Structure formats: C-alpha cells, structure tokens
Structure 1
Amino acid sequence: MLSKALLRLGTSAARHPWRVIAAWLIAATLAVLAAITIGGRTADSMTAPGLDSQRAAQLIERAGTGQEGMTAQVVVTPLDGGATFFDRGSARTALTRLQSEVQRVPHVLGTSDPAGALDAGGDTAARGGLVSADGRIAVVRVQYPDQSRLSAEDLDALVDLGDRLRAELPLRIEMGGNLFYAFSDPDGGTSELIGILAAAAILFLAFGSLVAAALPIGMAVFGLTVGVAAMTVLAGVTDVPTFAPVLGSMVGLGVGIDYALFVLARHREYLARGLDPREAAGRAVATAGRPVVFAGGTVVVSILGMAVANVPFMTVGGFAVSIVVLTMVLASVTLLPAFLGAAGPRLARTGLIGRALRTGKPGRL
C-alpha cells in the first residue's frame, strides 16, 4: 500500500519536475516571509515543574530580591601592567566611571560596587569577590530584569558602551553573562558549512558527477530552510529554546543527506538497468522511499519522546526539531524525485570510488 502510494508520488514528481520544484520554492518563500513577519526569537525559559531548583527560583522571584532576572559581567583590568585597583590612581578612577556609566544603561536594575568596596579597603573588596587578590582584575556584575522584558537592543546597548569606554578609559574591558547567551546571534553556521563542503567532496568522488553530488546536499539545504523557517514561526507562538535551531540544523542536514542517498543510489541502479529516468525515479521512491519514511518516523517518535520528561522547554525543543525531520522526509519523496527527473540520464555515470570497488583495485584512486 505504502509502496504503491510512493510509486505514484515519485513518478508524478519526476514527470512534472518543474511544477514540484516551483511548489517547493513557493513554500520556502512563504515560510521565510512568515518567519520574518510573525516569527519570534528563541528564548531559554528553562522551567522544570516539580524540581527543587524550580521552586527555589519561584521563591526568589516572589520575594522580589532583584536577583531573579538576567545578569551580565563586565571584567576590567588596567592597561598599565604595573597599576592595580588598590592604588588611588587613574585605574580606580576609570573603574568608578565605568561603574556609573553601566548603571545608566537602559533596563539595568543595579550593579555590584567594586569601587565602593575598594574605598572600604582592598581586603574587603578581595573577600567580596569583586577584585582579585593582586588588585589587577575587578568585576562589575550587572543585574537586569526577566528575559521577557528584554531584547537584543539591551545587549547592543551594553556592548556599544563597552566599545566606547575602551577608547576613553585606560582599561581592558571584557563582557559576558547569560544576557549574551540569550541575545547573541549564532556564529553563522561555519561548522555546518565545513560539513557540507566535506560531504560534497566525498559525494563527488563516489558518484563522479557534480549533479549527482549536488542533489542530496541541495535537497537537504532546501528542506532545512523550510524547516528552520517553520521553527522560527513556532517561536512567535511559544518559547522555543535556543538549542533547537542548532540541533535542528545538525539533525536536518544529517538525515536529509542520508535519506537522499538512499533514493539516489537506487535510482542510479535502475538507470544502469536501462530504465527511463522518470520511471527509475518513481521506482526508487517506491523501494528506497519506504525505509526513508519509516526511518524518519522513528526519529520523530524518538525526539518527541522527550515530552515524557515533562520538562516544557525540552518538549517544545523536540517538537521543533521534529518539524525539520518531517520536512526532510517530505522533501525526499517529492522534491528529490523532481530533481532526479529534471537531471535525466546524466546521473548514470560511475565515480572514482565506484569504479575502484567494481574493479577491486583501490590503488587507482
């Protein structure tokens, strides 16, 4: 039953490839536009009902201690290698100014007071953890309200202040804290790009065709775009944890390329037997597509199993990643056969690794 449905689906996609590709392009465009207009940002609302740590956090919030929000740390040291904050010189004056400037940043509830502790004595400041024992390093802890009241603009304001003060004060200034973790943008996916390039090189050697090597990667990237855009739309409705897009990208690229290889390898086998490319694509989806569907379903069920832990952020994160996996399964049985039908007989060429395995002479590589 499933094989027949997949045969009809794959054959239809291969016979009308440009319609299917156009439909995916429209879907991707709409998903990206929806992500831009109504999508939200990921947020770490890591609540865990029933745990002692969660009850403690709720008690702190109800008590109104001012410590229930987000924090940042500004760590400074004098540029002069011989100066310390214990000395009543330019370094301590600069620390006092930095502390007052940070307190005026929007939404800052308060800061620690290393300058005041130094006025009371170097030993007092060191015991309070505000200044290092040698007086070379001071820490200004910055208290913000809850993450729901903040945005990336608050992080930008603190970073801009640091950039300005670096040029004006004789201090080396470094910053960190969970404010940066919550609102900093990712590094641009450099690791994913390296993985894609490595996969492309291996696929090219195996298939001996640039088109054959590009199809699995192209399908995976296409499906990942739709899946991550849908995840962003979900973030506009509920709190999606920050790990979800990263995990979704890794899992999505992996299963997308893997599932595409199942179908592509079977398609090339049928081409070698002399079948028409469109018929070969349909049969490849009917045979290799069934384990793809079952494998994708198994991954989705496994990820959704995180809901059993009854931890809300893990449940939502698992659901978000499942969207990416389902998108990859759908692309494998619709978009990929369309690519195969459009490529025609050019995918029948055997690559270097394939020829070496057939001849039993790996030295030819």
Structure 2
Amino acid sequence: MLSKALLRLGASAARHPWRVIAAWLIAATLAVLAAVAFGGRTADSMTAPGLDSRRAAELIERAGTGQEGMTAQVVVTPLDDGTTFFDDDGARTALTRLQTEVKRMPHVLGTSDPAGALDAGGDTAVRGGLVSADGRIAVVRVQYPDQSRLSAEDLDALVDLGDRLRPELPLRIEMGGNLFYAFSDPDGGASELIGLLAAAAILFLAFGSLVAAALPIGMAVFGLTVGVATMTVLAGVTDVPTFAPVLGSMVGLGVGIDYALFVLARHREYLACGLDPQAAAGRAVATAGRPVVFAGGTVVVSILGLAVANVPFMTVGGVAVSIVVLTMVIASVTLLPAFLGAAGPRLGRAGRIGRALRDGTIRRAASGIFGVAELPRFATIPPK
C-alpha cells in the first residue's frame, strides 16, 4: 500500500518537476518570511519541574530581591602593568565612572560596587569578591530583570558602552555573563558550509557526475531552509533552546543527504536498465522511499522520546529537531523525484570518474594499493 502511494507520488513529481520545485520554492519563501515576521530568538530556560534549583528560583522571584533576572560581568584591569586599584587614584576614578555609566543604561537594576568597597579598604573589596587579591582586577556585576523583559538591544547597549569607554579610560575592559549567552548570535554557518563542501566532494567521487552530486545537496538545502525557518517561527511561540538550530542543522543535513542517496542510487540503477526518467523516479521512490519513510519516522519518534524526561526545554528542542527531520523525509519523496525528472537521462551518463569506475581503472589501482583483488561493483537490479 505504501509502495503504491510512493510510486504514484514519485512518478507524479517526476512528470511535473517544475510545479513541485516551484511549490517548494514558495514554501521556503513563505517559511523564511514567517520566520522574519513572527519568529523569535532561541532562549535557554534550563529549568525542570520539581528540582530544588527551580523551587529556589521561585522563592527568590516571590521575595522580589531583584536577583532573579539576567546578569552580566564587566571585568577591568589597569592598562599600566605596575598599577593596582589599591594605590592608584586614577584607576579608581576610572572604575567609579565605569560603574556610573553602567548603572545609567536602560533596564539595569543595579551593579556591584567595587569602587565603594575599595574606599572602605582593600581587604573589604577582596573579601567581597569584587577585587582580586593583588588589586589588579575588579569585577562589576550588572543585574538585569528577567529575560522576557530584555532583548538583544540591551546586550548591544552594554557592548557599545564598553567600546566607547575603552579609548577614554586607562582600563582594559572585558565583558561576559548570561546576558551574552542569551542574546549573542553564535558564530554558526561555517561548520555547515564545510560539511556541505565535504559532502559534495564525496558525492562527486561516488557518482562521478556533477549533476548527481548536486541533487542531494540541493534537496538538503531546501529542506533545511524550510525546517530551520519553521523552528524559528516556533521560537516565537515558545522557548526553543539554543542547541536546537545547531542540532537540527547537523541532523537535517545528515539524514537529508543520506535519504537522497537511497533514492538517487536506485534511480540510476533503473535508468541503466532502460527505464525512462519519470518511470525510474517513480520506481526509485516506491522501493528506496519506503525505507526512507520508516527510517525518518523512527528518527522522529526517537527524538520525541525526549518528552519522557518531563524537562520542558528538552521536549521543545526535540520537537524542533523532529520538524527538520520530517521536512527532510517529505523532501526526499517529493522534491528529489522532481529533481530527478528535471535532470532527465543525464543522470544515467557517468562523468570521467564514473567511467573510470565502470571500466575498472580505479578498481585496479585500488587493488594495487590495498592488496585486494578488485573492488566490488554495484549490483544492478532490473525492474519488475
């Protein structure tokens, strides 16, 4: 039953490739526009019902101490290596000005007071953890309200303040804290690009054809765009943890290319048997698409098993990653056969590397290197 449905789906997509590709382009565009208009930022709410830490946080919030929100740390040290905050009035004055400027920023509830502690005595500042024992380092702890009342603009304001004060004060200024963790954009994209390039190189060597190597990559990029954009929209409704986009991209690229290889390899076998591209694509989806659907369903169910832990942020993260995997499965049985139909009979013609594999040149070279008789050929399965 499933095979027949996949056969019709794959054959229809291959017969009308540009309609299917256009539909995916529209879906990707709408997903990106929805992410821009309604999407939210990922946020880590590392809380779990029933834990002592959660109950302590609730007590602090009910007490109204102002310590239940986000924090940042501004760490300063004199530029002059021989200067300390204990004995240099200029460094202490600069520290006082820094504290004052930080307190004036929007949404800042308060700061620690290392300058005031130094006025009370160096030992007092050291015991309070505001100044290092050698007097070279001072820490200004900045208290913010809850993350729901903050945005990336608060982080930008703090960073801009540091950039403005560095040329004016005789201090080296460094910043950190969970405000940065919550609102700074991770340096992503490079690893995914490296992975795509490596996958493209391996696929080209495997298939010996640039077109055949490009199709799994193109399908994975389409699916990843729709999946991650949908995840961003989900972040506008609930708290999606910061690990979800990274994990979703990693898993999505892996399963997307993997599933595409199942279908593409079977499609090329059917082309070699003399079937036309549309019929070959339909049979490939009917045969290889079935394990793709079952494998993808298994991955989705496994990831959704995170909900059993009853930890909200893990549950939402699992749902977000499952969306990417499910999108890849749908792309494998709809978008990929459309690509196969659009490529036509070209996928049945191997490139220079593919011809070398077929003629045995690379196999004979490998046998001399590795000491084996000959690398095995791929079996050709005739159509039924």
TM-score norm. by structure 1 comes to: 0.95
Q: Is contact 1:207-1:349 (8 Å) kept?
A: no
Find the counterpart in structure 1 of residue 353 from structure 2: 353
CA distance in structure 2 between the aligned counterparts of 1:264 and 1:46, rounded to whole angstroms: 42
CA distance in structure 2 between the aligned counterparts of 1:228 and 1:111, rounded to whole angstroms: 38
Q: CA deviation at 1:2?
A: 0.5
Question: Could you report, residue by residue, the CA deviation over 1:116-160 in whole angstroms, capped at 9, with x for unpaired residues?
Answer: 111122222122211111111111110000001101111111111
CA distance in structure 2 between the aligned counterparts of 1:94 and 1:210, rounded to whole angstroms: 62
Q: Is contact 2:209-2:354 (8 Å) kept?
A: no
Question: Could you report, residue by residue, the CA deviation over 1:320-358 in whole angstroms, capped at 9, with x for unpaired residues?
Answer: 111111100000000000001101111123467766666
Question: Could you report, residue by residue, the CA deviation over 1:165-220 in whole angstroms, capped at 9, with x for unpaired residues?
Answer: 11211111111111011111121411111111111111111111111111111111
Against the structure 1 CA distance between its residues 357 and 126, is the aligned structure 2 distance closer, same or farther, given a 3 Å change threshold? farther
Q: Sequence identity, in percent? A: 92
Question: Could you report, residue by residue, the CA deviation over 1:14-42 in whole angstroms, capped at 9, with x for unpaired residues?
Answer: 01000000010111111111111112222
Q: Is contact 1:48-1:311 (8 Å) kept?
A: yes
CA distance in structure 2 between the aligned counterparts of 1:328 and 1:82, rounded to whole angstroms: 60
Q: Is contact 2:208-2:355 (8 Å) kept?
A: no
Q: Is contact 1:47-1:312 (8 Å) kept?
A: yes
Q: CA deviation at 1:231?
A: 1.0
Q: Is contact 1:206-1:350 (8 Å) kept?
A: no
**Structure 1: gaps spanning 5 or more residues:** 361-365
CA distance in structure 2 between the aligned counterparts of 1:89 and 1:20, rounded to whole angstroms: 72
For residues 161-176 of structure 1, what are the structure 2 equivalents within 5 Å? 161-176=161-176
1:132 alignment partner, SS class: coil
CA distance in structure 2 between the aligned counterparts of 1:138 and 1:271, rounded to whole angstroms: 71
Q: CA deviation at 1:47?
A: 2.4
1:305 alignment partner, SS class: helix
Find the counterpart in structure 2 of residue 247 from structure 1: 247
CA distance in structure 2 between the aligned counterparts of 1:79 and 1:204, rounded to whole angstroms: 54
Find the counterpart in structure 1 of residue 102 from structure 2: 102
CA distance in structure 1 between the aligned counterparts of 2:73 and 2:351, rounded to whole angstroms: 55
Q: Is contact 1:10-1:283 (8 Å) kept?
A: yes
Q: Which moved more, 1:236-245 or 1:285-294?
A: 236-245
CA distance in structure 1 between the aligned counterparts of 2:311 and 2:161, rounded to whole angstroms: 37
Find the counterpart in structure 2 of residue 339 from structure 1: 339
Against the structure 1 CA distance between its residues 352 and 83, is the aligned structure 2 distance closer, same or farther, given a 3 Å change threshold? farther
Q: CA deviation at 1:163?
A: 0.6
Total equivalences in the alignment:
360
Find the counterpart in structure 1 of residue 75 from structure 2: 75
Q: Is contact 1:206-1:351 (8 Å) kept?
A: no
Q: CA deviation at 1:87?
A: 1.6
Question: Could you report, residue by residue, the CA deviation over 1:81-122 in whole angstroms, capped at 9, with x for unpaired residues?
Answer: 111111233221111111111111100011111111111222
CA distance in structure 1 between the aligned counterparts of 2:188 and 2:243, rounded to whole angstroms: 15
1:173 alignment partner, SS class: strand
Against the structure 1 CA distance between its residues 110 and 275, is the aligned structure 2 distance closer, same or farther, given a 3 Å change threshold? same
Q: Is contact 1:207-1:352 (8 Å) kept?
A: no
Q: Is contact 1:208-1:349 (8 Å) kept?
A: no
Q: Is contact 1:103-1:110 (8 Å) kept?
A: yes
1:203 alignment partner, SS class: helix
For residues 211-226 of structure 1, what are the structure 2 equivalents within 5 Å? 211-226=211-226
For residues 218-297 of structure 1, what are the structure 2 equivalents within 5 Å? 218-297=218-297
List 4+ stretches of structure 1 deviating above 4 A.
351-360
Question: Could you report, residue by residue, the CA deviation over 1:214-254 in whole angstroms, capped at 9, with x for unpaired residues?
Answer: 11111111101101111111112222122111111111111
2:83 alignment partner, SS class: coil
TM-score norm. by structure 2 comes to: 0.91
